[in-house]
Amino acid sequence: INSFSLLSILALDFHQASLLFLTVTHSLKYFYTASSGIPNFPSYVSVGLVDNVQINYCDSRTQKNVPKQEWMNEVSSEHPRYWEEETKTCWEKQQMFNVNIDIAKQRFNQTGGVHVYQQMYGCEWDNETGEVKGYDQFGYDGEDFIVLDLETLTWIAPKPQAVISKNEWDNDKYAADNESFYLTQTCPEWLKKYVSYGRSSLMRTDLPSVSFLQKSSSSPISCFATGFYPNRAEMFWRKDGAEIHDGVEKGEMLPNNDGTFQMNVDLKLSSFEDWTKYECVFQLSGVDRDVVTPLEKTKIRTNEDHSQAKMILVAGGSASLLGYI
């Protein structure tokens, strides 16, 4: 799906303002993924994330929804049957998604091969303004399939194969009202609980290690930061103390397998340039000081280091309100 694949500010003042705003926004996301034709991989996976930190996991092999953070065990004290109910939801979603991926293959006139049907839904909550945003979207084989417009409570079908689902779901006003209530009321309430349980972990700040990488002498120089938390961060290049944009390309922020994050920003430089004028700047939400790393040729690693390989987040996650497509 374009906005959440299986394989998910400008001048300095704007950087700082954006990071300040982001410090009060929390998110709860669930991913459900059904697949076919992938050897040695579960046919169904569900994952939940709070502030992009994984909180639970379930798949078609384990058939059990389990916590992925120690603080998520606290939910049982308030809701003793929580994990039992989450496991039941996982099983029910698995049955539904197995049917839906078959329906999708039929609509696209497909039989064999690798196919993926995925849903992402959840909410964001600003604990300063109280603003809540909800979203629900489905994808098939890496592209948007059908997306909810929460304001109008109607569905957008980018693919003609999804029009059947759009018409059916648009006419189900009871389901639409339930969807709206869940995304704007129930989801934020659970998000607040999870943030409360995991506050000491979710509100921590870890600064990154920063290094310079270059594949060859003619390649761009990559400023690579890894091991930071939270993911509300920004990184850019400066020349003579001023941020630059020409020749700069920002990479995607990705999760590490230890719950921290990594990102990079590349800079195309001529060998005739005075490299001592350049520095890489990393800013982390909740931390006053920037991590500034001057560019030095002697500190550039030119060999490809596979130990810093980027992790791919396989998404998958807890309570759907709609049925078969």
Residue 315 has pLDDT above 60, yes or no: no
Domain shared by 138 and 273, yes or no: no
Domain CATH code at residue 186: 3.30.500.10
- Under the banding of pLDDT at 50, 70 and 90, the label for residue 296 is very high
Domain shared by 291 and 158, yes or no: no
Domain shared by 173 and 60, yes or no: yes
Task: Determine, yes or no, domain membership for 282.
Answer: yes
Query: How far is 261 from 227, CA to CA, in rounded Å?
Result: 6
Omega prior to 230 cis, within 30 of 0: yes
Domain shared by 267 and 155, yes or no: no
Q: Is 0.85 surpassed by the pTM of this model?
A: no
Q: What is the tens place of the pLDDT at every residue in 199-245?
A: 888 888 999 999 999 998 889 999 999 999 988 899 999 999 999 99
Mean predicted confidence (pLDDT) in 87-96: 96
Token pair listed for 52: 């992009």
Please give the residue range of the domain that contains residue 232. 209-306
At residue 323, the pLDDT reads 61
At residue 324, the pLDDT reads 64
Query: How far is 73 from 82, CA to CA, in rounded Å?
Result: 10
Mean predicted confidence (pLDDT) in 176-195: 96
Query: How far is 121 from 284, CA to CA, in rounded Å?
Result: 27
Domain shared by 154 and 237, yes or no: no
Domain shared by 66 and 102, yes or no: yes
Domain CATH code at residue 261: 2.60.40.10
Domain shared by 70 and 129, yes or no: yes
Domain shared by 68 and 23, yes or no: yes
Mean predicted confidence (pLDDT) in 94-114: 95
Domain shared by 239 and 298, yes or no: yes
State the total domains in the chain.
2
Please give the mean pLDDT across all residues of the chain.
87
Mean predicted confidence (pLDDT) in 257-266: 92
Q: What is the tens place of the pLDDT at every residue in 15-58?
A: 333 333 344 689 999 999 999 999 999 999 999 999 988 999 99
Task: Determine, yes or no, domain membership for 319.
Answer: no
- Under the banding of pLDDT at 50, 70 and 90, the label for residue 322 is low
Among residues 144, 191, 137, the alpha carbon closest in space to that of 320 is found at 137
Domain shared by 174 and 254, yes or no: no
